[in-house]
Structure 1
């Protein structure tokens, strides 16, 4: 394991769900030189500003957790923003890292990089073997580009830029907009508000049949730091020159109906669940094959029921100030 607690570590996207969890994890380990920058302080879409920031900070490591994210609705309505902003953010940070001689970088992608009908569970080798899910294709293409950027800088300049592909994430500091967010925060808010109003029904998008895998963000932060700190020899022994990304997940999934029923129980909602089949389901199933990460010494430790309970409690305690746009 490669750990120097005095190194300057930049966490891009520290205000988001994943970035904030990585900061918490790094602080818990004992890193004392964690660098962050708010949107007001640094516009990651501005190439010159990003380059100047890297030049002035003399950064040693980068966790690239900054991204524009959202659920099916947001991806459908704002495809241009999703591809443009994500491409610009990753291109600016990866290139500035190289130009500033940052040797170690971890890029955080997404399970949506895999084809819509990829064999389940999805292996890293499935990348670029089929057609993507249309509802989030622009976002997926941007994330694939990020993987290939890391691979390209490694090949041409012998950098150590790594990529991890998380399954569906949830936890504190998520976006809880009822339409633009991912399924868990959207449902947590919907059920919470239904309980507050005394509603007898909660409507869920889709048929409830698609199967999804969910990973608590604290587990994702733990996996990210684990992969970043692996000795280069150990990391490369479990990857390939043209297959540098590693899946991060639990290796288990559930139906959206089962998820909704669990959230109903956690929120103490006693009414009926109605599934709106006029809304899109998205990919039929998304389950990550995570044997490569297990071989590198890491696996998830937070169960879905435990994670949902903790996340719902966080939401209740922070409902006034949560992100909802």
Structure 2
């Protein structure tokens, strides 16, 4: 594929995946890459979004921007999680259509799957059942974007890929202990506990299993998807790790020797999320970084950048 003529736009470029994706694309020969963050452009603003797209005229858009929370954040901000994401997604996809973009690669979320769907979760079952209550408004905003992309493909022939992402993590993540995703939240907690020699409290029982994908591997997968795939696709490793194993690994990495208290009064979320990754495998994707090594890289980055890291 000739990538030299592509005019690439990355939304949400300041996040954990956006930074890794820009590096991945440039290393692969994409020379015309524009990255925007929420500081550059408020994608909730329809007119501003359309004006920006008219100025940039992208041919390939990686739409990563979203209002993102963890379990607690999604439950506490249900209206905001829905409305902001619907606005962002609708504006970006339609602005891409208006300016002749040939393809949008959009970041979905595993939250779109019903918690009653059979495992491993297959892309063919995205529309079956209701999303888990804890993340339903956010999930429905993502389902709505998929419906918009499919409709635009049929009416306007704008190509798309919709990536149903598993739990993503890595350097430059948002390390929010209260509302953040599991790994960045745990990294921050372990750093603080190790520094202050304090007890650690972790939500749930530790039995829940998750498929975790490191940011540089996610970026590699996104490039392959842009070059070789259309339609919905699971963005995951196909392997799962318990939260307890994740906590034990972070204990070793951080050198924490205190007590880890499991708060079983708090939710685990879905007990297991396993993915059918046959579509991604068909593109030749294999993770390049082991899970435990990726945790160590992320922890070391946070330790060295704790003052400036997003929280």
TM-score of the pair, normalised by structure 1: 0.93
Give the aligned partner of residue 300 of structure 1. Answer: 287
Distance 1:292 1:26 in 2: 21
Distance 1:147 1:217 in 2: 23
SS at structure 2 position matched to 1:286: coil
Distance 1:275 1:300 in 2: 30
Query: What is the CA-CA distance between 1:182 and the residue it aligns to?
Result: 0.4
Distance 1:284 1:3 in 2: 43
Give the aligned partner of residue 94 of structure 1. Answer: 93
Give the aligned partner of residue 256 of structure 1. Answer: 243
| Residues 209 and 273, structure 2, Cα contact 8 Å, conserved in 1 | yes
| 2:166 is the alignment partner of 1:179 | no
| 2:16 is the alignment partner of 1:17 | yes
Query: What is the CA-CA distance between 1:247 and the residue it aligns to?
Result: 0.4
Give the aligned partner of residue 128 of structure 1. Answer: 127
Query: What is the CA-CA distance between 1:35 and the residue it aligns to?
Result: 1.1
Distance 2:265 2:309 in 1: 29
| Residues 17 and 173, structure 1, Cα contact 8 Å, conserved in 2 | yes
Please list the CA deviations of residues 129-166 of structure 1 after superposition, one character each: whole Å capped at 9, or x if unmatched.
Answer: 12211111111111111111111111111111111111
| Gaps in structure 1 of 5+ consecutive residues | 237-243
Give the aligned partner of residue 309 of structure 1. Answer: 296
| Residues 174 and 310, structure 2, Cα contact 8 Å, conserved in 1 | yes
Matched ranges for 1:1-325 at <5 A: 2-199=1-198, 201-230=199-228, 235=229, 244-324=231-311
Aligned residues: 311
| Gaps in structure 2 of 5+ consecutive residues | none
Please list the CA deviations of residues 166-192 of structure 1 after superposition, one character each: whole Å capped at 9, or x if unmatched.
Answer: 110010111101111101011111011
Distance 2:247 2:236 in 1: 20
Please list the CA deviations of residues 272-323 of structure 1 after superposition, one character each: whole Å capped at 9, or x if unmatched.
Answer: 2111011111111111110111112212222110100111111111110000
SS at structure 1 position matched to 2:310: coil
Distance 2:174 2:203 in 1: 18
Query: What is the CA-CA distance between 1:7 and the residue it aligns to?
Result: 2.0
| Residues 22 and 35, structure 2, Cα contact 8 Å, conserved in 1 | no
Query: What is the CA-CA distance between 1:265 and the residue it aligns to?
Result: 1.1
Distance 1:222 1:40 in 2: 26
| Residues 3 and 229, structure 1, Cα contact 8 Å, conserved in 2 | no
Please list the CA deviations of residues 14-72 of structure 1 after superposition, one character each: whole Å capped at 9, or x if unmatched.
Answer: 11111111111112222221112333331100111111111111211100000111111
SS at structure 1 position matched to 2:67: coil
SS at structure 1 position matched to 2:61: strand
Query: What is the CA-CA distance between 1:123 and the residue it aligns to?
Result: 1.0
Which deviates more from structure 2 when the two are superposed, residues 311-320 or residues 288-297?
A: 288-297
Give the RMSD, CA atoms, in angstroms: 1.2
Distance 2:153 2:196 in 1: 54
Distance 1:207 1:172 in 2: 27
Give the aligned partner of residue 241 of structure 1. Answer: none
Distance 1:56 1:104 in 2: 17
Distance 1:23 1:217 in 2: 11
Distance 2:241 2:13 in 1: 30
TM-score of the pair, normalised by structure 2: 0.97
| Residues 167 and 287, structure 1, Cα contact 8 Å, conserved in 2 | no
Query: What is the CA-CA distance between 1:96 and the residue it aligns to?
Result: 0.5
